[in-house]
Amino acid sequence: MSVHKEVKRVTTNTLQEFKDSGIKISMLTAYDFSMARIIDSAGIDVILVGDSASNVMAGHETTLPITLDQMIYHASSVVRGVERALVVVDLPFGSYQGNSRLALESAIRIMKEAGAHAVKLEGGAEIKESIVRILTAGIPVMGHLGLTPQSIYKFGTYTVRAKEEAEAQKLLEDAALLQEIGCFSIVLEKIPATLATKVAQSVHIPVIGIGAGNGVDGQVLVSHDMLGITKEFKPRFLRRYLNMYDEVQNAVKQYVDDVKSQNFPSDKEQY
């Protein structure tokens, strides 16, 4: 008899069941083993190994520089820390756009080398062929519409997307297309709440929002933002649940003081 407690894993089917029964989906990013273990053990449904690793782990200004090899490194670390959550991994910039064969090869590497459960790609009709080819290989795909940070140099700004009728209409059409070709879910980033609600009601697959209001089927945040590890980033949609930057800084200051004053280690902390 196994002494290990059986954990029921979250699958893409679980997320669909959640939407169908009105249960909201919780999703957070993680990029390393230790954080993934904490987040998973707290009961999160989906862990996204986001290309936001480029910003919060590597310190780049945009998500563009992160490579497929680096995403695989982060993703394989996360997978080792997860027992329950569905692990979705971003295909990084340059690993899928405009070449469906390359897209499939990139997705296969993520599934094979990292042990991920699904991939996420940014865009709609423009990347249809890439998504279809990945899906044909049996790899689940999550779409990502609205503010798509890999296109930041096209947008020129990180402000709210799809406020104008034409862009809103294209987004609705893209969401319908992603559902039709077989994506299991869609992330909507930074769009008006009314539009996001309309999208969530117009497709049967789960729609997960970030800065997209409360009318969608679930929420995702970057863990470094909601834990307050990032300090300056303060968009309206972000709720901080911790102030880790200050907490960690205070702990380190205390440690420095203790070392300097020889308060650490004490008699009990040595051999």
Active-site amino acid positions: 189
Choose between 195 and 210: whose C-beta lies nearer to ligand KIV: 210
> Please, are residues 142 and 118 in contact by the beta-carbon 8 Å criterion?
yes
Rounded CA-CA distance 223/94 in Å is 25
Which own/partner pairs from 153-162 qualify as long-range (CB within 8 Å, at least 24 positions apart)? 153/64, 158/190, 159/190, 160/190, 160/191, 160/192, 160/211, 161/189, 161/190, 161/191, 162/191, 162/192, 162/195
When CB distances to ligand KIV are compared, the closest residue is 50
Choose between 239 and 268: whose C-beta lies nearer to ligand KIV: 239
Minimum distance of ligand KIV from residue 241's CB (angstroms): 16
Minimum distance of ligand KIV from residue 214's CB (angstroms): 17
Place of tokens 């709609």: 124
DSSP track, 201-233: HH-SS-EEEESS-SSSSEEEE-HHHHTT-S-S-
Choose between 53 and 168: whose C-beta lies nearer to ligand KIV: 53
Choose between 111 and 212: whose C-beta lies nearer to ligand KIV: 212
Choose between 192 and 250: whose C-beta lies nearer to ligand KIV: 192
Q: List all residues 6 or more positions away from 232 whose beta carbon is below 8 Å from its beta carbon.
A: none
Minimum distance of ligand KIV from residue 225's CB (angstroms): 9
Minimum distance of ligand KIV from residue 207's CB (angstroms): 12
Minimum distance of ligand KIV from residue 142's CB (angstroms): 9
List interacting residues with ligand KIV (CB under 6 A).
29, 48, 50-52, 90, 187, 189, 210, 220, 222
Rg (CA), the chain: 20
Q: Is the bond preceding residue 265 a cis peptide, omega within 30 degrees?
A: yes
Half-sphere exposure of 175 (CA within 13 A, CB side): 28
